[in-house]
Chains A and B, each alone.
Chain A
Amino acid sequence: MELQTTIYLVVGLSFALYIGIAIWARAGSTSEFYAAGGSVHPVTNGMATAADWMSAASFISMAGLISSMGYGGALFLMGWTGGYVLLAMLLAPYLRKFGKFTVPQFIGDRFYSKSASTVAVLCLLTASITYIIGQMTGVGVAFSRFLGVSSDTGIYVGMAIVFAYAVFGGMKGITYTQVAQYIVLILAYTIPAIFISLQLTGNPLPQLGLGGTYSGSDVSLLQKLDQVVTDLGFGQYTTTTAGSTLNMFMYTLSLMIGTAGLPHVIMRFFTVPRVKDARSSAGWALVFIALLYTTAPAVAAMAKLNLHGTVNTAVTSGGDLYAPEASLRYEERPDWMKRWEQTGLLKFEDKNGDGRIQYYNDKTANADAKAKASAAGWNGNELTVNPDIIVLANPEIALLPNWVIALVAAGGLAAALSTAAGLLMAISAAVSHDLVKGVFAPGISEKGELLTGKIAMAVAIVISGWLGLNPPGFAAGTVALAFGIAASSLFPAIMMGIFSTKMNKEGAIVGMLAGLFVTLFYVFAHKGLFFVKGTEYVDLIGGPNSFFGITPEAFGAVGALVNFVVAFAVDKVTKEPPVHIQAMVEAVRIPRGAKAIDGAH
């Protein structure tokens, strides 16, 4: 069967499966729509959380970025898993005991103030919409390849499908659909990795293959890769950090605390039956996430080696990389390159007019590589590969069978859709439940509330899709910004709400606003006001990354620190929270007496 037909077939079957499940588990009441009635088993919940969590950023974008960053890419791996330790210990069990189903509800009740919950809604919307922009970028990549169109058209198609999909079911439909999506996406991710690991190292487990010996040689795979990339003028794969050590540290920290502060992930832990289950649920989620996250570094390194091997025959033969006949003749390029050229995400420009593809780092500081390149008549790098295509193109690069390529396409779409749906659910709950019902129109009917939620989803999709056309970065980079925003605004407020009985509403509100404001100020300086291209004001803050070389993606950790400091300072000079609130915090710390969640209060 032809490749394109196989892709349509596999993707179509996977969609039929999700829609079937959504119909079967259609939500009735509002409480079912958002929180599945508090009746989901920890393992099921863990799997659904994993699907919810592993978005287009994890599935499509992350390994590609690790591939281009090398060792420094570990910040995504550690950041997006380490946060679960914080979530399991610091937040999940207590929020479950608290017994509300949205984050603004918790903040509003704990800080006895509607303003606090409104500020929380603002933080939540900023973080979630930024997150969806990143998803839309990923969705665009997936659909562009899947339909053979430009990535912009891919985004339009994606917007329509995400909307139909999120409006259709509720959380309950989504919980079981997400279990199915997890299974599709994990198979799609690991099967090609196993094939490739076998090809390159003879070891079927990618986690071991990455540390294995490169087939047909006596050096390790990583040594081989290090040698190839340094010869071509790139930084050494196993040691190149992301910016500076400080930046990598802050970036990782930012992703970790952002993980623990993201509303759509936290919401998941309201749906388990007991406090005990909230603790282990985070562990199960991480097990399922780790299956992909420990495979990703292998995918990254192996795809990089395969890509270099495709355009330069000397990589596999071990000869001179700069020999004229080693570079691939453009006319003889493999089909997958032609397919990706259509999307505009892979480009070739014959700078020295020899009809061959030279792929190297032309801005290298390595004098040896520079000399070799100019001696060979290389006139600049000729191949541009968008890192976001690496995972989807990976099985094609390795020349794997068509059904594997089709499976990866289905997995990428599953990842993007499941997360977008989860985020839209959080947005819809925040707007309809916390803002409209909680603040503006307490008397709204259940039907009116559901409708408001759906309108909120539609607006969110249009805004993020539009911004996704000119994204502030690669999918995973944009998503990292969302984590920074959650880290700087929501995480500190929730944590102080549990761990300090004395934190009052003034402290929490000013803290959240301060954290959110400094982070957005720094991010918008680099990425444009509200991510609109052309409104950057980076000179105003003294040039890019002017704060100790910290990139905007890593700034969330600084914002969180500001949030804590400001909150405690304001708390000191304003009056203590009422006695019944302090007693409530004491009660939240004790598991006994947890009741089923109560959203309607």
Chain B
Amino acid sequence: MQHDSAGYWKATLSLLFKVLVIWFLVSFGAGILFADLLNGIHLGGYPLGFWFAQQGSIYVFIALIFWYAKKMGDLDREFDVHED
């Protein structure tokens, strides 16, 4: 194969790792493991840990997917493996 497929895959995995770290931190981190701690802080009428668990993590998930899709698009072009 003439493309640098190993390089492309490595770059893909490193992006995956970044996304997964954030994914884990907002849901399992802020929403579950550190929820009690964060509940000391308030966001309007929301205790912060409760907010992450029932609202915040979902917003972050959406942003993550679009950010990932955009970054992957950039990678596709950089390594010249994009479609059409």
Contacts and interface: CB of A to CB of B under 8 A. Distances in A.
Of the four ranges (under 10, 10 to 19, 20 to 34, 35 or more), the interface on chain A belongs to 35 or more
Contacts of A591: 76, 81-83
Given A90-B16, A245-B33, A293 B45 contact: no
A413 interface: no
Contacts of A287: 62
A239 B38 CA distance: 11
Given A89-B19, A211-B44, A592-B83, A82 B12 contact: no
A252 interface: yes
- The secondary-structure label for the interface of chain B is helix
A207 interface: yes
Given A78-B27, A276-B73, 6 more contacts: A71-B54, A210-B55, A211-B51, A239-B36, A245-B33, A294-B58
- The secondary-structure label for the interface of chain A is helix
A84 interface: yes
Contacts of B28: 249, 252-253
A221 B45 contact: yes
Q: Which of A66, A78, A286, A591 counts the most chain B CB atoms within 10 A?
A: A78
A82 B27 contact: yes
B55 A590 contact: no
9 contacts: A82-B27, A85-B64, A212-B44, A213-B45, A249-B28, A252-B28, A274-B84, A589-B12, A590-B5
A574 interface: no
B69 interface: yes
Given A82-B23, A88-B68, A77 B53 contact: yes
Nearest to A214: B45
Nearest to B43: A211
A113 interface: no
Given A222-B47, A239-B36, A279 B57 contact: no
Interface residues of B, number: 45
A14 B63 CA distance: 33
A279 B33 contact: no
Interface in A233-275: 238-239, 245, 248-249, 252-253, 256, 274-275
Q: Which of B44, B51, B65, B73 counts the most chain A CB atoms within 10 A?
A: B65
A171 to B, nearest CB: 23
A563 interface: no
Interface in B1-49: 1, 3, 5, 8-9, 12, 16, 19-20, 23, 27-28, 31-33, 35-36, 39, 43-47
A32 to B, nearest CB: 23
